[in-house]
Structure 1
């Protein structure tokens, strides 16, 4: 091959190298563009997922009749104590779970997550039942409200409606404080469709006799809350009165013991006036008369 032919070959190879370099640069640029597009698609997917979650949370919030906050951290909510199937605390447990969902709607977005949360808090026979129905994919496991209704039907035996009204009719203070009596009264009354006048009348009838006797000396209120406050004030007044009598009795008995010692050392002394027909009152008799507000001379 002559020199001219060799030069042509070298020029052709050089041109091919230039073209290959250009193609490589174009491929690199194209690859970078593809990577950018891939990143943009991933970001759009995340935004779509966020919008879907917000939409689900909004529907969940609408089911509870509340608005869903769009910014800021959700408040902390303590998990309810585990539920073991106690028939008297089923409704209270489920109500606490509902409060958790209300406080943290974005955390418990789906109905399935709410049901799963409830099941994780069960133990004993309640857990055995829930595990069985969850594994069997029972239809009522699809929503919290259906699962709640099934739990109430199976476990709840708390007083409701007519049964609560029947218990309310028989309820009395029975040696408890007015506070304890009013708490149980309000709990039963919450499920009874009684008007204000009926609640007031039944509450007064259940009070201890001494509190009833004192209440009738006041102007009786027409609303239930004010009546409870009056009963609490009367109870406090009677307690303070008993404390004053106890303190006074202790002082008088102490004086009586000193007088008895003086009398024993002086046999000729006249009998103390705390006696009738020259019969000396015993310390217990003195205490009883003082406590009841009776005269120490005639009783």
Structure 2
């Protein structure tokens, strides 16, 4: 080792110079320490070599194991995954309410579509319960009454009728009990509708229902809706610009109706004209008063006339301090008509 070869050199150098007692005492200690470090390094190197050999061996075994697993997986088909188990709803959490059972159906005209719609909602809300066509058909038949049940009983005598498919059952069911849409008949019903005592919003429900299955365009529907309203509403709509569509026309008519009801309610609470006020007017003013001032082509309504008379306002210009016979803005030539 180089440590052993160092000693002769140091001996030769020591022979050429004056010996140092301290150097001679440290030399054995240094040699011993370096020797121990060399042995430790050698031991670590041996342990690293052994560890590398073990890792290489483990890597080889790992590769062999993976190759065996791949071969086994390719030869055996994997089973289908198990369906997830239903999780019961936690107490106190939100839960979707069950669909109510539809009303029974006895073959009434006009109720076939609504009855089938409610049945379809029940099927969609409980797909696990109604998982096949025979179950759905049995549910529908169980709600039939009267002539509809008699039809189902007669058809059930044929093998396979209650087994489906569902679309064939529904097609035959609708053909028997549903009224086909006749565009001409629907248009006739729309044009014959009248508001009557219904409010605009209530009447609009019936009108929209027929309009949704009609072939009339929006302009025709607006014309039919306008002519079906009450006379008061038609008079007010005559001074309004044309609506863009049916929905805006319904909204406008509803606002006008509310306004007219509010004015009638206020007029019922206005005080009537007292007898002294009536007696203070001349017979000419009471009997032969000219027509009040018109707004465009519309004359004053009876409610507005009553309000102006009650407040002692001019019936022509609506200002206080004078009567219509002395109105400063009224054309003078009308006093002689």
Please name the residue that 2:114 is paired with. Answer: 92
Please name the residue that 1:144 is paired with. Answer: 166
How far did 1:123 drift?
1.5
Aligned residues between the structures = 212
Contact 1:140–1:150 (CA<8 Å) still a contact in 2?
A: no
What's the secondary structure of 1:219's corresponding residue? Answer: coil
1:176 aligns with 2:198: yes
Residues 127/139 of structure 1: CA separation in 2 closer, same or farther (3 Å cut):
closer
How far did 1:192 drift?
1.1
Please name the residue that 2:26 is paired with. Answer: none
1:78 aligns with 2:100: yes
Residues 136/210 of structure 1: CA separation in 2 closer, same or farther (3 Å cut):
same
* More divergent stretch after superposition (225-234 vs 160-169): 160-169
Which whole-Å CA distance do the structure 1 matches of 2:160 and 2:304 have between them? 68
Out of 136, 142, 155, the position equivalent to 1:114 is: 136
Unpaired runs of at least 5, structure 1: 1-43, 52-69, 260-268, 280-288
1:230 aligns with 2:252: yes
Which whole-Å CA distance do the structure 1 matches of 2:268 and 2:180 have between them? 42
TM-score (norm 1): 0.59
How far did 1:168 drift?
1.0
Please name the residue that 2:187 is paired with. Answer: 165
Residues 209/106 of structure 1: CA separation in 2 closer, same or farther (3 Å cut):
same
1:215 aligns with 2:234: no
Alignment deviations for residues 15-49 of structure 1 (CA, whole Å, 9 cap, x no partner): xxxxxxxxxxxxxxxxxxxxxxxxxxxxx9995xx
Give the root-mean-square deviation of aligned CA atoms: 3.8
Which whole-Å CA distance do the structure 1 matches of 2:145 and 2:170 have between them? 16
Which whole-Å CA distance do the structure 2 matches of 1:119 and 1:215 have between them? 51
Which whole-Å CA distance do the structure 2 matches of 1:110 and 1:172 have between them? 46
Give matches, 1:1-299, under 5 Å.
76-137=98-159, 139=161, 142-157=164-179, 160-248=182-270, 251-252=271-272, 272-273=279-280, 276=283, 293=305
Structure (1 or 2) with the larger CA radius of gyration: 2
Question: As a proportion of its length, which structure holds more helix?
Answer: 1
What's the secondary structure of 1:243's corresponding residue? Answer: helix
How far did 1:188 drift?
0.8
TM-score (norm 2): 0.53
Residues 181/194 of structure 1: CA separation in 2 closer, same or farther (3 Å cut):
same
Contact 2:156–2:162 (CA<8 Å) still a contact in 1?
A: no
Unpaired runs of at least 5, structure 2: 1-78, 90-94, 287-300, 316-337
Alignment deviations for residues 243-293 of structure 1 (CA, whole Å, 9 cap, x no partner): 111222xx32xx75xx6xxxxxxxxx998458958x9xxxxxxxxx96584
Which whole-Å CA distance do the structure 1 matches of 2:88 and 2:222 have between them? 46
What's the secondary structure of 1:151's corresponding residue? Answer: helix
Which whole-Å CA distance do the structure 2 matches of 1:106 and 1:136 have between them? 28
Contact 2:103–2:143 (CA<8 Å) still a contact in 1?
A: yes
Which whole-Å CA distance do the structure 2 matches of 1:202 and 1:191 have between them? 15
What's the secondary structure of 2:109's corresponding residue? Answer: coil
What's the secondary structure of 1:108's corresponding residue? Answer: coil
Please name the residue that 1:59 is paired with. Answer: none
How far did 1:158 drift?
7.0
